[in-house]
Structures are given as C-alpha cells and as structure tokens.
Amino acid sequence: MSNAIELQDLHYRAGKSFAFTNLNLHVPTGSIYGFLGPNGSGKTTTIRVVLGLLRPRAGRVTVLGRDMPADAPSILARTGFVPEQPHLDPTLTVRETLRFQAAFYPSWDRTWAEQLLRSFDLDERLPFGRLSKGQKGKVMMLLALAQRPELLVLDEPTDGLDPVVRRDMLTALVDYVSQREATVFISSHLVHELERICDWVGVMDNGQLITELPMDRFKSGIKRLQVVQAPPDLAGTPFTLLARESNGGACESWIVRGWEPEMTMYFDGIGASLQTVIDLDLEEGFVELLRTFRAPRG
Amino acid sequence: MFRVILYSQWKWSRFIIGLGTVAGFGLPILSVQSATRTGDHPLQAGELLQTIQSWGALYPVLAAALAVLVAIATWAPDHRGRHVHALTLPLPRWRYALLRFGAGLALLAPPVLAVLIGAGLATALAAIPAGLQGYPVALAARFALAVGVGYAVFFAISAGTTRTASAILLVIGALIVIQVVARVAAVDLDVVTRLQILLVNWPGPLAIFTGRWMLIDV
C-alpha cells in the first residue's frame, strides 16, 4: 500500500518549549485519516511541515510520492488545504477570491465551483472579510475542493462552526472523496465527527505520535472490562492495560488495548472473573489513550 | 496570475495611487503657475529658477511617499493572512515575490505618467525666458527612477517578518549607541554621517533622491 503522506524520522523544534523528535507518520493513499490530539500537541505544526510551510531540522517528508519542500509547487498543485484560521484577502469578494484561486490551479473545476457556491448558499458579492465564520469556512472548503486535488489537508476545518455548516462541509467532502478517491488528512477536536468519516486514525500528544492504525482496529481494540476479584499484581497480560480503577468492593474497571475475544481465558488463569466487555467509542478511546500516555511511568 | 495579483493589489493601493496621480500631475503645473503669479511682468530667469527649485524638493518626497506606501500595500494582504495562502499556492516563492513586485511597479506607472503629462503641459503653456528650457521628460524619468528604487528598497524591507524588522531596528539602535559612546569617549568616529554618505551619495542606492529636481533649468 502506498502512502500519500509519509514523515520519516522528522525532527523539528519551535522555540524551547516544543519539538518533534523522530516523528514517523503514514497516511495511506485513498484513506480518510483523522489526526487527533489535544491543543498544543503539534497537529498544526505537523500539517505545516507536510505543506512545506515549516522546514524540519532532519528527516524526510514525502507527499504524493515527491519530496517536500524540494517539489513543493508540484505537490501543492495537487493538494487542497483548509487552514484552521481563514487567511484570504479580506478585501476581495467571494467571486474575486474564486477568480484569484482559479488563476493558480490548472485543474480548477469552474462548473463544480459554481455548484458548490450555490449549494453552500454563499453571496458572491460580499467581501471575504465581511463573511461570518461559517461562510468563511465554506469558502475555504469550496476553494480546496474546486481545484480537484488528489490530497486534501484540513486543519480543524469545522472548529467553532454550527452543526448545519459542519454537516454541509463534511457532506461536500465525503461526496468529493467518493467521486475522486482522494486522500484526506484531517485534524479535528470533534472526535465524533471523525469517527463517522475516517478509516484511519493517528493520535498525537506533545509532539509524539502515540498511535496510528485503521479506525476499526482502534475502536475494536480498546475496551472497558468489568473484572471481579482481580489480584493486585498482574503479570503477562495478553493485552495492554491502560487504566485500572476500583468500582468499590472486589469489582474493578479496566481499560485495555489490543483486546481479542479469546483473551477471556486469561482471567481464569489469574483467578479473576470477567463480568462484561464494553466497546468504547472513539472519543472514550482517545481520552483513555491520552490519559495512559500522560501517566507517569514507574 | 499576474492579472489577479494586480487586481488584488489595486484594491489595497487604489487610494494611494489615485492621490499620487493627482499630486504627480498637479505638482509641475503648480510649480510653474506659482512662478508666473509672482507679478504681471514677464518671468525673470533667476526668479523662475528659484521658485522651480523650491518646488523641486517635493518630487523626491512624493516619490519616496509613493514608494513606501505602495510597497507596504503590496505585502498587506499576505501579512494579514500571515503568508499562509501565498505559501500554499503552487508556484515557487521567488516567482510569487516577482509577481507581487511587478504588480506594485505596474501600479506606480500612473503617478509617473501623471508627472510626465503635468510637466509637459506646464512647460508647454508657460512663457519660458530666453536661455532657459523645460526638461519634462528628464524630470519624469528621474521621478520614475526614484519611485522604482524606493519601491524596490521598501518592497524588500516590508517583505520581511517581524523578526527582520526587529533586526533592522536593532542595527539602527546599535549604530546610534556606538555613535553616542564614541562622542562621550571623544573618539573620532562618525558612523551616522558615514552611513548617510554611503546611502545618499553616488553610487549609494538613495542618491537618486538628492540633488536639484529642476523642471526648468538653463
């Protein structure tokens, strides 16, 4: 399987407080890759490195099979980008903004841009600076989609937008991906939103990629187990124990990763009893993963 | 690409260009008119030259003002968006900078043309005393050169980040401190004057702004 984005042993430092060391990340071609992480974890910095806006100290960045930043213009011609903060000329009207963007992209689809303009219900005569936050988000998405990119890089595109605008934007995104089989690299705080559309997930915290795996494995592998009479010391668990909390009495709640149904046998071996296995959704899995990652290691 | 960049810059600098064009057209006409209004008698050569010379100081001021303001307006849309949009466009950075530079230069053409037309009209309509003659083309060419040089310098400066601006200010501050220390210590060192000579005297980059700007001369 080829990768649309590949970061290898990336080193980057921004001031004294933030750095990546040995960051490795792989976004499979054709996937919708959800990039999760709390504020300040390095998501936007990673995206800026991917787009050649920031230059790493060491390591290799490959995007659509080419080296970034050496081949930046040819990569950017095939990449649509929606940034966290809209950054367009506030004096240009929506129509002028479209004309400006179209001049730089040979693959610009004029017909589809017009369709999106209508379906997003945007007033083409208004200057970009006078649009609402939701309208600005729609314009950014329109510009990214109308250039018919092979890769879409979206940095918290729906952050702070109302549910209707979010739905409109994500619908347009999913429609495009289904038509074109493009790769999408999307960062967001809205975990439930990513859960609906993504087939791969990467979790970042404090400049490190904690995990990167297909969404179904991520979701099925993290479980909450209700365990009774577990011994205090555990050895040789076949899964990774992320968290262990007492529910009062002999009952405990465990958060585990890498769970498989046949692992119930393990509890017989340690003299404990497994009462229930509960599926965690992406948000719960994400929170537990971060909690474990941040817990002091003994 | 050039057309859309030119249009985007036009929206940012149209008032500057408009005012600059009016001023560029009016300045030579006013300078000659003010000399003729000094009395009913025919223009005296000495009197005319004196008036033209005093008005001449305004040409480099207008050129510098236009250069600075248009250079700032050239980068304004990109600075507003922290250059993210420009840097994610699919073209090399040098080419983008060249397009911006060219668009700004093209927008400076109307004020330069206005100086040429205004100077041409002013000299054509005035009764110039014998022994003197008008230099509208030379004046307009010099104005164009001054605007171009000033624009290039300030285009480069205003392209920089806050860090670049801080570095420039730091260098200027350091020079002043060195000058003050040298004066207190009675050391024969005049850095500021030397720098001024280096910049303003030929072949310094700002030499074009100095000297006499005469629309009518011997």
Mean pLDDT of A275-296: 77
* ipTM for the predicted complex: 0.79
Pair A146, A287 in one domain:
no
* Interchain pair B84, A74: CB under 8 A: no
Q: Identify the band that residue A1 occupies on the pLDDT scale cut at 50, 70 and 90.
A: low
Pair A148, A121 in one domain:
yes
Q: Is A212 inside any structural domain?
A: no
Pair A96, A192 in one domain:
yes
Residue A231 burial by Cβ neighbours in a 10 Å radius (0-12, 13-18, 19+): exposed
Q: How far is A180 from chain B (nearest CA, A)?
A: 20
* Interchain pair A90, B80: CB under 8 A: yes
Tell me the residue type at B118: G
Tokens at residue B166, please? 């801080």
What local confidence, expressed as pLDDT, does residue A296 receive?
56
What local confidence, expressed as pLDDT, does residue A161 receive?
78
Pair A95, A26 in one domain:
yes
Residue segments in chain B with a per-residue pLDDT below the cut of 70? 37-43
* pLDDT over threshold 70, residue A55: yes
Mean pLDDT of A119-133: 89
Enclosing H/E stretch for A11 = strand A3-14
Question: Which of A206, A235, A250 represents a domain boundary (last residue)?
Answer: A206
* Interchain pair B89, A83: CB under 8 A: no
Which of residues 93 through 152 in chain A touch B, CB cutoff 8 A? 96, 99-100, 103-105
Q: Using the 8-state DSSP alphabet, how is residue A221 labeled?
A: H
Q: Is A285 inside any structural domain?
A: yes
Tokens at residue A283, please? 């948000």
Residue B119 makes CB contacts below 8 A (sequence gap 6+) with B28, B134, B136, B137, B139, B140, B215
What local confidence, expressed as pLDDT, does residue B206 receive?
81
Tokens at residue A7, please? 């970061």
* pLDDT over threshold 90, residue A215: no
Q: Is A213 inside any structural domain?
A: no
* Interchain pair B88, A99: CB under 8 A: no
Pair A32, A177 in one domain:
yes
| Mutation target among A85, A87, A153 for the B interface, most CBs of B within 10 A | A87
The pLDDT > 90 percentage for chain A reads: 32
Pair A95, A229 in one domain:
no
* pLDDT over threshold 50, residue A298: no
Per-residue pLDDT reduced to its tens digit, A95-116: 999 999 999 998 899 998 998 8
> Which single residue is written with the structure tokens 């976004």?
A27
* Interchain pair A92, B8: CB under 8 A: yes
Q: Smallest Cα–Cα separation from A100: which of A78, A128, A131, A74?
A: A128
Is residue A81 within 8 A of residue A51, CB to CB? The reply is yes
Is there a cis peptide before residue A73, judged by omega within 30 degrees of 0?
no
Question: Which of A184, A206, A228 represents a domain boundary (last residue)?
Answer: A206
* Interchain pair A104, B8: CB under 8 A: no
Q: Which residues of B touch A53 (CB under 8 A)?
A: 84, 87-88
Enclosing H/E stretch for A121 = none
- Count CB neighbours of A162 within 10 A: 12
Range of the domain at A183: 3-206
Q: Using the 8-state DSSP alphabet, how is residue A93 labeled?
A: B
What local confidence, expressed as pLDDT, does residue B27 receive?
92
Q: Looking at the complex, does the CB of residue A53 fall below 8 Å from at least one CB of chain B?
A: yes
* Interchain pair A92, B88: CB under 8 A: no
What local confidence, expressed as pLDDT, does residue A16 receive?
74
| Mutation target among A75, A89, A94, A153 for the B interface, most CBs of B within 10 A | A89
> Which single residue is written with the structure tokens 């409109």?
A168
Length of chain A: 298
Q: Looking at the complex, does the CB of residue B89 fall below 8 Å from at least one CB of chain A?
A: yes
Identify the closest residue of chain B to A82 by CA–CA distance. B85
Q: Rounded to the nearest 5°, which phi and psi values hold at B152?
A: -60, -45
Which of residues 8 through 47 in chain B touch A, CB cutoff 8 A? 8, 11-12
What local confidence, expressed as pLDDT, does residue A164 receive?
83
CATH number at residue A116: 3.40.50.300
Task: Using CB atoms, pick whichever of A53, A89, A96 lies closest to residue B87.
Answer: A53
What local confidence, expressed as pLDDT, does residue B134 receive?
85
* pLDDT over threshold 50, residue A194: yes
Q: Is A211 inside any structural domain?
A: no
Pair A194, A289 in one domain:
no
Pair A98, A181 in one domain:
yes
Pair A118, A190 in one domain:
yes
What local confidence, expressed as pLDDT, does residue B128 receive?
79
Q: Which residues of A touch B91 (CB under 8 A)?
A: 73, 104
Per-residue pLDDT reduced to its tens digit, A33-48: 999 888 888 888 999 9
* Interchain pair A74, B90: CB under 8 A: yes
Question: Which of A206, A238, A260 represents a domain boundary (last residue)?
Answer: A206
Q: Looking at the complex, does the CB of residue B212 fall below 8 Å from at least one CB of chain A?
A: no
Task: Using CB atoms, pick whichever of A74, A83, A92 lies closest to residue B11.
Answer: A92
